Amino acid sequence: MDKAILEQVIAICTDAGAAILDIYHSSAELQVDTKPDDSPVTAADLAAHKVLAPALAQILEGVPVLSEEQAIPPFAERSQWQRYWIVDPLDGTKEFIRRTGEFTVNVALVENGKPVMGVVHVPVLGITYAGCSDIGAFKRTASGDVAIHVRSLGPRLESGEPVALVASRSHGAGVVDQLVERIESRLGTVECKNMGSSLKLCLVAEGAADLYPRLAPTCEWDTAAAQAVVEAAGGVVVDDQFRLLRYNRKDSLLNPFFFVIGDKSFDWRDLLVTDPPVH
């Protein structure tokens, strides 16, 4: 994939982030509405969508855009898509409302079910994570770009360092606690950090965490962009039966439960896969 296209996507995500920040820093009271699935939506979600959808549609001719903030085409139509953009204009709306800063703009290009390019922009921090299957992954800050890569687990265990796990601040805590106990019984101390949005996947991608178990519902637009970054950085995202997480394969856009793994060479499967499946 052309680096120039990736740069275009980064620029568009940065523009969407600016639209979000205009509302985030506004003195006006934030209006929060509820969508049919009971998830919150704000003017910032919609403002970012209005930046992203038309701009992405111009990059690759004939490649459709699937955004959380617009009508979802029926699967009969979507199933014909070999390539498409999948967008979460504001991932972490609850964190936006709580004003934690832990929210992102997510854009991925999916080809035949696999996210091959991803951009995760963090408006409050002015940081962008980007990755492409044939380019690698990097983190962009005001100081420039730094290549990122997942880290090895074996040497850290040998030196007595803890396993670093990231988890959702809002979802699935009880099941994650059980998993932590299982890991600690085999590998030693586990350090947990709770965080919102797709930043959790990016921490694994940049070697700041070893594992992110997601044992609660997500949608495909929540994960595709950051999955592309993780895999470009050398990691992997698998479902709770250790199959690669793939997209646009069914009518529902809900993901299965999944694990984001940094060190692919470590034997995580025996620790993580339970029988019967965790859900």
CATH number at residue 52: 3.30.540.10
Last residue of a domain, one of 147, 175, 194: 147
Nearest to 130 by CA among 222, 200, 233: 233
Is 233 a member of any domain? Answer: yes
Residues 194 and 77 both lie in one domain: no
Same domain, 136 and 232: no
Check whether residue 104 and residue 198 sit in a common domain. Answer: no
Same domain, yes or no: 99 and 21? yes
Number of domains in the chain: 2
The residue from 115, 147, 179 where one domain ends is 147
Mean pLDDT of 216-228: 96
Q: What is the arithmetic mean of pLDDT over 213-238? A: 96
Q: What is the CATH number of the domain that holds 220?
A: 3.40.190.80
Task: Say if CB 213 and CB 165 are below 8 A apart.
Answer: yes
Q: Which of 7-16, 107-116, 162-171, 185-194 has the lowest mean pLDDT?
A: 162-171
pLDDT at 39: 83
| Whether 101 and 122 share a structural domain | yes
- Whether 164 contacts 193, CB under 8 Å: yes
My answer on whether 21 and 103 are in the same domain is yes
Q: Which ranges of the chain does DSSP label H, i.e. alpha helix?
A: 3-24, 43-59, 75-78, 93-98, 154-158, 173-187, 199-205, 220-232, 269-272
What value does the mean pLDDT of the chain take? 93
In a domain, 278, yes or no: no
Measured CA to CA, the distance from residue 197 to residue 136 in angstroms comes to 22
In a domain, residue 179? The reply is yes
93 labeled binding residue: yes
Confirm whether residue 68 is marked as ligand binding: yes
193 with 102, same domain: the answer is no
6 in a labelled binding site: no
Q: Is the pLDDT at 158 greater than 90, yes or no? A: yes
Whether 79 is in a domain gets the answer yes
pTM equals 0.94
Is residue 162 domain-shared with residue 261, that is, in the same domain?
yes
Residues 97 and 53 in one domain: yes
H helices then E strands: how many in the chain? 9, 14
Residues 220 and 52: their CA atoms lie apart, in Å, by 17
Residue 36 forms part of a structural domain? yes
Residue 91, marked binder? yes
Enter the tokens of residue 92.
């972490």
Model confidence at 279, pLDDT cuts 50, 70, 90, reads: very low
Instruction: Please check whether residues 142 and 97 belong to one and the same domain.
Output: yes
Q: Is 70 inside a domain boundary?
A: yes
Domain that holds residue 99: 3-147
- Rounded mean pLDDT, 185-213: 94
pLDDT tens, 26-74?
Answer: 877 788 888 887 788 889 999 999 999 999 999 999 999 999 999 999 9
Instruction: Decide: helix, strand or coil at residue 94.
Output: helix
Cα(136)–Cα(147) distance, rounded to whole angstroms? 8
Q: Please give the Cα distance from 218 to 105 (Å, whole number).
A: 16
Say yes or no: 143 and 170 in one domain.
no
Edge-to-edge order in the sheet of strand 190-195:
190-195, 163-168, 211-214, 258-261, 236-239
pLDDT score for 174: 80
Domain final residue, candidates 123, 147, 171: 147
Average pLDDT of the segment spanning 161-177: 81
pLDDT computed for residue 47 by the predictor = 95
Q: What are phi and psi of 223, to 5 degrees?
A: -120, -25
Task: Decide which of 270 and 5 is more confident.
Answer: 5
Residue 197 has pLDDT above 60, yes or no: yes
